[in-house]
């Protein structure tokens, strides 16, 4: 599996009534290599989102965001598909244009580990998982609540921070 196929599966699952189950259904039955690759690519994309500016954008949209909520938000961001994901990395304030952000449910906890679950359901064994180091702090500059209106003017206008 390559990055293009990864994003295709994410985008196809977004049209399912339950994206998390839709993704698992799309993954079940795939080769061991594909499922391991899917989880690796997911982890790589997730690592790209561990940034203060994205946390700030999520904080504005959600009216606050804990460590755990930030993780779930990052899964949600991946679940929106490649175009929204890349746009948000380039400009987190662009999330003001994402209709799903208005729905208020910025969590997609079940997307994390979908490949692992599909692997275990398909092969009745645990997926071999490569250990990864996680940075202690998000990348970029930490913000203060007083900075959010200036950093995310469109989100602040839309979500009333």
- Helix, strand, coil % over all residues of the chain, rounded to 5: 65, 0, 30
Q: What tokens were used for 100? A: 């799903």
Q: Identify which of 33, 32, 46 has the alpha carbon closest to the alpha carbon of residue 2.
A: 33
| Dist. CA 154–CA 152, nearest whole Å | 6
Query: Bridge-partner residues for 139, per DSSP?
Result: 51
- Looking at the 3D structure of the chain, how many domains does it have? 1
Supply the pLDDT for residue 106: 81
Is 61 domain-assigned?
A: yes
Helix locations, 49-160, DSSP H: 52-62, 67-79, 82-90, 99-102, 114-123, 148-151, 153-159
Is 28 domain-assigned?
A: yes
Q: Are 88 and 54 in contact (CB under 8 A)?
A: yes
Q: Which domain holds residue 72?
A: 3-130+140-159
Is 51 domain-assigned?
A: yes
Is 90 domain-assigned?
A: yes
Is 135 domain-assigned?
A: no
Secondary structure class of 139 (helix, strand, coil): strand
Is 71 domain-assigned?
A: yes
Supply the pLDDT for residue 109: 85
Rounded to 5°, angle at Cα 152 from 147 and 153: 105
Is 56 domain-assigned?
A: yes
Q: Are 154 and 161 in contact (CB under 8 A)?
A: no
Supply the pLDDT for residue 94: 97
Supply the pLDDT for residue 101: 76
Over its length of 161 residues, how does the chain's per-residue pLDDT go in tens digits? 999 999 999 999 988 889 999 999 999 999 999 999 999 999 999 999 999 999 999 999 999 999 999 999 999 999 999 999 999 999 999 999 998 777 767 878 888 999 999 999 999 999 998 888 888 899 999 999 999 999 999 999 998 75
Is 33 domain-assigned?
A: yes
């Amino acid at each position: 599996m390559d990055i293009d196929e990864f994003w295709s599966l994410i985008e196809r699952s977004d049209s399912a009534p339950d994206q998390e189950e839709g993704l698992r259904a799309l993954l079940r039955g795939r080769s061991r290599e594909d499922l391991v690759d899917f989880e690796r690519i997911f982890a790589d994309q997730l690592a790209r989102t561990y940034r203060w500016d994205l946390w700030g954008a999520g904080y504005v949209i959600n009216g606050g965001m804990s460590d755990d909520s930030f993780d779930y938000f990052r899964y949600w961001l991946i679940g929106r598909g490649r175009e929204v994901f890349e746009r948000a990395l380039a400009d987190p304030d662009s999330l003001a244009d994402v209709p799903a952000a208005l729905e208020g449910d910025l969590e997609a906890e079940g997307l994390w580990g979908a490949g692992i679950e599909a692997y275990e359901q398909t092969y009745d064994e645990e997926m071999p998982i490569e250990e990864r180091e996680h940075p202690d702090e998000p990348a970029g500059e930490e913000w203060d609540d007083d900075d959010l209106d200036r950093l995310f003017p469109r989100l602040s206008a839309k979500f009333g921070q």
